[in-house]
Structure 1
Amino acid sequence: MSAVEPRPTDTAGSLVPPWPGEHVTLGGRPVFVRSDRCGIGCAVPRQRTVYVHGLAGSAMDWTDLMGALHGEFAGEAIDLPGFGESPPPADDDYGFDAQVRVVTDLLRTGPWPVHLVGNSMGAAVATRLAAESPELVRTLTLIAPALPDLRPMRVPYQMTGALVPVIGPAVYDRIQRRPPEARVRDTLATTHYDPAAIPRQRLLEAVAAERARDGHPYARRAVLETLRGLVGEYLRRGPRALWRQAARVECPTLLVYSRHDRFVHRHMATRAFWTFRRSRLVLLAKAGHVPMMELPGVVARELRAFLRRPERMGRLPDPACQPV
């Protein structure tokens, strides 16, 4: 394991606008997929890299990381059904396996295996995909992965409270009636180590996205039902339990955890390190739950080095990277 402190050069450079995208149909489900555009200075061919956001996130969560890596890695970021610019699924299935299927279908639309990158719930989705469809995944990168952990942490327990019949949804609805600016401010305070460092452009984009969400009648159900599916995975037992599947992942895996994550306990990093067979662990010293947004330059540096030489990972964890 390495504990990483940001350095003055660890910025993503000037901010890029959100990457363009298009609606595509995957397994009968219409979704929106953003892709980077390679200009002057891009290596050809670039390696296909697919990004999966977390609960209540969107493809825009990956804007800066994709920008930092696009010269070498061809990025695609999906809006999961009901999030971002993707409409709700016609069958109203927001279950965890439904999310896995739509990402699997995306991978099959282009050359594979791919570099698969996920954050939070998206990392859990990526874990199951890598375990059950190993032929599609060349490398796996999990950033603050929401793998099952039943120890009490205030923020996840508050979120789970939204599933309590009648009372939970009513409280959630009351929160959602607050101004978009207030909701964004509270979200950033929860997910970031230093919300004051967020660039104004990104803040304005977040508020605009929140306002757009308010115009979608399905937005509330998308969040609550997707959360319900994730909670179900935390309670799952048997061969498809996520930790048991993590132990079966064959491809090289980069694990990125943060000391100040209020959703995923940093001590879970040790368990993940020893569970994934071919893993490298990076612990970020000053980041929260979405380090790819907060420290894109730092994450890009670690991810670039990993993706360039994934074959250096042995079948078992490298003793030089043991957790400290």
Structure 2
Amino acid sequence: MSSTESPDARAVPVVPPGRPSWVSRGEEVRTVTLPGATMAVRSREPAQEGLPPALYLHGLGGSSQNWSALMDRLAGHVDGEALDLPGFGDSPPPDDRDFSITGCARVVIRYLDARGRGPVHLLANSMGGAVATRVAAVRPDLVRTLTLISPALPELRPQRTAVPTGLLAVPGIASFFARATKDWTPERRTREVLALCYGDPGRVTPEEFERAVAEFERRLELPYFWDVMARAARGIVDSYTLGGQHSLWRQAERVLAPTLLVYGKRDQLVSFRMAHRASKTFRDSRLLTLLESGHVAMMEDPDAVARAFRDLLTDTAATAERSATPRG
């Protein structure tokens, strides 16, 4: 992308905060400067000509790296880009320090408008799923299909295993946790996260574990790491309390894009019981249930997610073709 594409989206050399994150073979990471935010964007190289655009959004504490396995499997079907949302991965915090779901949605919309890539196939996990739902509801012109993997939509009775993560939103808790765990090794921190996010942490290969440890070490060096986690967690909790037209469930009802919902039966952060409500709420939806997966199905079982997404692509294209065929 050159600076002539848009005055609001300038590709510049990657200058990540501290050490850069891991870049898998066949990927490239660049930074894009928007008004009020600078974001790292991960993509496969080179992109195949003529493929429809896709955009991937990660969850709380995640990064664009979370999508590498799925991006690799879908490289011949979509021209994918994965964002490091502001404050995560290699993206610094936004100028306004707004980590709310609405604030993140505004940044995503700003990026898509500046790039002129819409409508995109929008794929998102957890917190990113809430952001993507809001984007699809308020800007349906930007979203061709929606794929939500364990989306962080409001739960009246969250699982007990999700409570500690939610407590990060309480003022002072994040800094307290940082002090209480200051002697934890990166290996221990990584094991704790994997045990929470994976249905079976044993599926993580030694190489993947080593990369995850290195990424945890890198993030802990960032002076804003705990502040971003606290503010983003607060943004999720705050979104659960919004009513009326700003309610995420109300906005889910407004989504027009064909929607693939992916839920792991072993998810400890988003209750599997929410799959039924989501299936009833999104008007044009299909559900993929993965019995052995937890919260990050695109990392735990990328083959199954890729198959379901390809089916969505095929069916959506067939529907569009039928609609375009003259009758009579």
Provide the TM-score with structure 1 as the length reference. Answer: 0.87
Structure-2 separation of matches of 1:167 and 1:125: 24
Partner in structure 2 of residue 27 of structure 1: 35
1:166 positional shift? 3.6
**Aligned twin of 1:129:** 135
The answer as to whether partners of 2:101 and 2:130 remain within 8 angstroms in 1 is: no
Give deviations 1:211-247, integer Å, cap 9, x for gaps.
Answer: 1111110111111001001100011111110000000
Matches within 5 A, 1:33-112: 33-38=41-46, 42=48, 44-108=49-113, 109-112=115-118
CA–CA separation in structure 2 for the residues paired with 1:167 and 1:87: 22
Rate the CA distance shift 1:173–1:49 in 2: closer, same or farther, 3 A: farther
Higher relative contact order (CA 8 A, sep 6+): 1
State the distance in 2 between where 1:35 and 1:85 align.
14
> Structure 1 residue 155: deviation in Å?
2.4
- For 2:265 and 2:285, the matched residues in 1 are separated by 19
Q: In the alignment, residue 271 of structure 1 is paired with which amino acid? A: R
Equivalence for 1:319: none
Residues 286-305 of structure 1 aligned to structure 2 (within 5 Å)? 286-305=292-311
How do residues 1-324 of structure 1 correspond to structure 2 at under 5 angstroms?
17=25, 19-38=27-46, 42=48, 44-108=49-113, 109-167=115-173, 169-175=175-181, 177-310=183-316
Q: Which moved more, 1:106-115 or 1:44-53?
A: 106-115
State percent identity of aligned pairs: 44
CA 1:90–1:47: 2 relative to 1, 3 Å: same
Contact 1:50 1:116 survives alignment (8 Å): yes
Asked if the contact 2:265/2:272 (under 8 Å) is kept, the reply is yes
Q: Is the 8 A contact 2:27 2:43 kept in 1?
A: yes
The alpha-carbon deviation at position 18 of structure 1 amounts to 7.4
**CA drift at 1:308:** 2.4
| Structure 2 equivalent of residue 4 of structure 1 | none
CA contact 1:123–1:144 (8 Å) conserved in 2: yes
SS in 1 for 2:262: strand
Per mean C-alpha deviation after superposition, the further-off stretch among 160-169 and 82-91 is 160-169
Distance change >3 Å, CA 21–CA 149, structure 1 → 2: same
Contact 1:258 1:266 in 2 (8 A): yes
Instruction: Give the counterpart letter for 2:296 in structure 1.
Output: V
- Report the RMSD for the aligned CA atoms in angstroms: 1.9
Structure-2 change in CA distance of 1:58 and 1:266 (3 Å):
same
In the alignment, is the contact (CA less than 8 A) between 1:163 and 1:169 conserved in 2? Answer: no
Q: Secondary structure at the match of 1:25?
A: strand
SS in 2 for 1:146: coil
Q: Secondary structure at the match of 2:27?
A: coil
Which runs of 5 or more structure 1 residues have no equivalent in the other structure? 1-14, 315-324
What TM-score does the superposition give when structure 2 sets the normalisation length? 0.86
| Deviation of 1:27 (Å) | 2.9
Q: Helix, strand or coil: the match of 1:266? A: coil
SS of residue in 2 equivalent to 1:226: helix
Aligned pair count reads 297
Relative to 1, partners in 2 of residues 1:176 and 1:198: Cα closer, same or farther, differing over 3 Å? same
Describe the superposition over 1:16-44 as per-residue Cα deviations: whole angstroms up to 9, x where unpaired. 547211111123311101011137xx5x3
